[in-house]
Amino acid sequence: MLKSLSRAVGTAVRLSTVTTSTARAVPLSRPTLCAPSPATSRPFTRSLWLMSNNNGASSGYRPKLFSSRVLRPSSVSCGCGALHTEGDKAFGEFLSDEIKEERKIQKTKSLPKMSGGWTLETNGAEVKLVRSVSGEKIMVTFNPDIVSAPNFVVEVTKQEAAKHSLVFDCHFPEDEIGHGEGEEESDIFAIREVSFQPEGDSDWKETSYTLNTDSLDWALYDHFMDFLADRGVDNAFADDLRELSTAMEHQEYIKFLEDLGSFVHCK
């Protein structure tokens, strides 16, 4: 099995459309969110709207779907005017137990520290790690809400010539490959794309030339990895980031459960 690494990668390259001898095989799978297509959901919701709309019924017949009596669950009032059911009570108790269990799993309330002098900034779901080294600013951005081993973006800005930042779109290939079949050996993290983007511009230009590492000269790829390592983005950093992201995601989950409990209880 072990001797098959270079062959397995070779096969991956051949299966793709890349034909150059210097093609680099980085797993292509990415997590995708499946949203229902508007084309399929709209006619259904629209037909419900027509059924419930007085003007929609040309014959004067009023369908009883929304106006009929609903089954009222056994309710308990707390004086807030909102509905409180026995189900809500059970839900609240379940949430309390769940929060207790999650807190037990949580190692510490504080987040793990990133070694290497990184400063942590959070802005909603987005997390930024920033450090400055000899006239350069390195900023790593990720979103821990999606997965605990998230894609992350590294922006390197030279303060002397700050027109553009060099931007690396990175990911954790090991977490994207289905385990079980074969013994594919992947780097802890990998670069997916490299581009220049206007410095400080939050809206990146889609038109900027983007270098995809799928078909990149491997020697150039290694120089990119060394470039990042020199700026503190190496395997140890990636491992710390994964740990931080997992802890943040867990912290957010507990907070969500608490908010949910408060909402259900009208606290």
Partner 1 sequence: MGVVLRNLQKVVPFRRARLRRDVDTLRLILGVQKLDLGLICVDNRRIQQINNTYRKRNTPTDVLSFPFHEELRPGKLPCPLHRDELNLGDIFLGVEFLMKQCQEDSTDLHSTLTVVTAHGICHLLGYRHETDEEWSEMFQRESYILGEYNRLTGQHLEPLTKRCSQDS
Figure out which of the listed residues 147, 166, 188, 211 binds partner 1, where binding follows CB under 8 A: 188
According to the binding rule CB under 8 A, does residue 247 interact with partner 1? Answer: no
Figure out which of the listed residues 86, 93, 97, 187 binds partner 1, where binding follows CB under 8 A: 187
According to the binding rule CB under 8 A, does residue 117 interact with partner 1? Answer: no
According to the binding rule CB under 8 A, does residue 10 interact with partner 1? Answer: yes
According to the binding rule CB under 8 A, does residue 115 interact with partner 1? Answer: no
Going through the chain in order, the beta strands assigned E by DSSP cover 119-123, 126-133, 136-142, 152-158, 164-171, 190-198, 210-212
**Is residue 119 a contact partner of residue 131, using CB atoms and an 8 Å limit?**
yes
Collapsing DSSP to helix, strand or coil, 248 comes out as helix
According to the binding rule CB under 8 A, does residue 19 interact with partner 1? Answer: no
- Which distant-in-sequence residues (6+ apart) come within 8 Å of 58 by Cβ? none
According to the binding rule CB under 8 A, does residue 201 interact with partner 1? Answer: no
How many beta carbons lie within 10 A of that of residue 227, not counting itself?
Answer: 16
How many beta carbons lie within 10 A of that of residue 265, not counting itself?
Answer: 16
Closest separation in Å from C-beta 234 to partner 1 = 6
Closest separation in Å from C-beta 13 to partner 1 = 7
Give the residue with the Cβ less far from partner 1, 25 or 95: 25
Closest separation in Å from C-beta 22 to partner 1 = 7
DSSP line for 105-116:
H-S-SSPPPPTT
Give the residue with the Cβ less far from partner 1, 4 or 212: 4
Figure out which of the listed residues 93, 126, 226, 259 binds partner 1, where binding follows CB under 8 A: 226
Task: Pinpoint the alpha helices (H) of 18-125.
Answer: 38-52, 86-105
Q: Measured between alpha carbons, how far is 244 from 116 in angstroms, rounded to an integer?
A: 14
Give the residue with the Cβ less far from partner 1, 8 or 254: 8
Collapsing DSSP to helix, strand or coil, 84 comes out as coil
Binding residues for partner 1, rule: CB under 8 A, are 2-7, 9-11, 13-14, 21-22, 185-188, 218-219, 222-223, 225-226, 229, 234-236, 238-239
